[in-house]
Homo-oligomer: A and B are copies of this chain.
Amino acid sequence: MSRQLSYAKAILEATDQAMGLSPDVIVLGQLVDTQSGIFGTTTGLVKKYGPERVQDFPVSENLMTATAMGAALTGLRPVLCHQRLDFMVYSLDAIVNWLGLWRFKSNMKSAMPVTIRTIVGKGWGQGPQHSKNLQAWFAHIPGIQVAVPATAYDAKGLMLEAILGETPTIFVEGRGLYSMTDEVPEQPYRVRFGQAVVRREGKDATVVAIGLMVPLALRAAALLDKEGISIEVVDPRTLSPLDRKTICDSAFKTRRLVVADGTWHSFGAAGEIVTSVVENLGDKLKSKPVRVTLPDSHTPMSSALEPKYYPDENDIVAAVRQTLK
């Protein structure tokens, strides 16, 4: 019952099981067929399912997405991998002008079940072209689901749900989460989209944390706990659809709100969440909501600047304190 699996292994297991369950599931991406296997998330699949179902792809990100779309029209269920989200930017035309609107413009008659995995680099001087997180962009596009799993359990369940579901999905995976472990059942299971989860109950303030910020929020909660401050941590798990109800319920309960999101400050996901809460709660909040985000800046490479650029648990603690003032 208490099988621990890393986030990376959970993704591998979900893909493996989806491929086992349906012969239509295929994996495309640069280097998916290598021993390294995208940080271990595809290792061994080519041996098990053969090179027709696990294919290396040219460094042609736009075509890769379009290939998946066309393949989906013939009944396949492609899973794409991008080693860095930055590389995937080349494919935005395919995503926003075609994939996202396919169902709509076919008058709901045609589906493209394509799953796009994309990894956000962080640390060790990834620098400005290897560390972007555009999850807010993706969540802005109608017709695309966006998963931001923070645990191995969710990574597996959401991945199975996406691959075997009917709506195109973008998976934003924090590289920093890959080695974190969690209890992960062996048999396949689903985590539905649009269902946030309360990771820790509390009463003094709500911290909505996304992806990599979830473990940091839990650490912040532990720190504050020592001072008798009780924090509720909500993990939306998917940004599109966004479970505004669970978030609002928590904020209504605690009456204080911090949103922790490791992406650029302005026009990002944190703003959407704050707005969703105040649209519903209005003046029920006892203090001003606070965002914990990256500054509106590209990523510095230097190891001396990275810690100043990326928010950590202390920034969350400080933000919570601000709401308690």
- Among A8-16, A96-104, A166-174, A200-208, the stretch that binds chain B is A96-104
Distance between A133 CB and nearest chain B CB, rounded to angstroms: 11
Q: List A residues 274-299 near B (Cβ within 8 Å).
A: 274-276, 278-283, 285-291, 296-298
Chain B residue numbers with a CB within 8 Å of A92 are 89, 92-93
A266 engages B137 (CB within 8 Å): no
This chain: copies in complex = 2
Expressed in whole angstroms, the Cα–Cα distance for A271 and B297 within the complex equals: 20
B283 engages A139 (CB within 8 Å): no
Expressed in whole angstroms, the Cα–Cα distance for A297 and B140 within the complex equals: 10
Query: Counting CB contacts under 8 A, is A269 at the interface?
Result: yes
Q: List A residues 237-296 near B (Cβ within 8 Å).
A: 239-240, 242, 264, 266-272, 274-276, 278-283, 285-291, 296
Contact size range, A: 35 or more
B296 engages A142 (CB within 8 Å): yes
Expressed in whole angstroms, the Cα–Cα distance for A287 and B281 within the complex equals: 9
Expressed in whole angstroms, the Cα–Cα distance for A285 and B284 within the complex equals: 11
Task: List the B residue with the shortest CB-CB distance to A138.
Answer: B267
Distance between A208 CB and nearest chain B CB, rounded to angstroms: 13
Complex partner residue of A104 from B143, B266, B298, CB under 8 angstroms: B298
Chain B residue numbers with a CB within 8 Å of A240 are 266-267
Expressed in whole angstroms, the Cα–Cα distance for A269 and B264 within the complex equals: 14
Q: Which 9 A-B pairs have the closest CB atoms?
A: A282-B288, A140-B267, A271-B275, A274-B275, A101-B298, A271-B272, A104-B298, A283-B283, A101-B128
